[in-house]
């Protein structure tokens, strides 16, 4: 019984360390994006650590994951999201909001 308990404790510790290492990968995002910005698969996942405002054009390329943490992406200029059937864009727990003069364009494959 004690061996099983020790094995379980070690397993939980190893899993926790592995999970924390994976959670730090990607790009943290917050604040105002004043210039044209491209979010690429290489920088993914994009973790919203605070609300962001898009003052330029934000392009989200195929294969990108955005983890919103229930934060807002307020678009005041342009938002373009391009995905494909094999490289989907994933928006997880993101609040999209349109500001004045907002243009949003989503490319949906046929």
pLDDT over 50 (residue 64):
yes
Q: Would you state the pLDDT for residue 100?
A: 63
The pLDDT-based confidence of 77 (bands split at 50, 70, 90) is confident
Q: Would you state the pLDDT for residue 6?
A: 52
Q: Would you state the pLDDT for residue 3?
A: 52
Contacts of 61 (CB under 8 A, 6+ apart): 38, 39, 40, 41, 82, 89
Q: In what order do the strands lie in the sheet with 57-60?
A: 37-39, 57-60, 78-82, 103-107
Mean pLDDT over 16-34 rounds to 68
Q: Would you state the pLDDT for residue 16?
A: 39
Q: Would you state the pLDDT for residue 18?
A: 37
Spatial contact of 29 and 53, defined as CB atoms under 8 Å apart: no
Spatial contact of 49 and 67, defined as CB atoms under 8 Å apart: no
H helix or E strand, kind and range, residue 35: none
Q: What's the rounded Cα separation, in Å, for the pair 2 and 29?
A: 45
pTM across the whole model: 0.70
């Amino acid at each position: 019984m004690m061996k099983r308990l020790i094995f379980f404790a070690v397993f939980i510790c190893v899993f926790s360390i592995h999970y924390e290492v994976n959670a730090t990968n990607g790009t943290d995002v917050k604040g105002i994006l004043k210039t044209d910005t491209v979010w690429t698969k290489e920088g993914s996942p994009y973790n919203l650590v605070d609300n962001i405002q898009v003052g330029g054009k934000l392009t989200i390329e195929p294969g990108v994951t955005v983890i919103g943490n229930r934060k807002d992406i307020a678009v005041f200029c342009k938002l373009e999201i391009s995905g494909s059937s094999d490289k989907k864009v994933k928006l997880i727990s993101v609040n999209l909001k349109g500001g004045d003069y907002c243009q949003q364009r989503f490319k949906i494959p046929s």
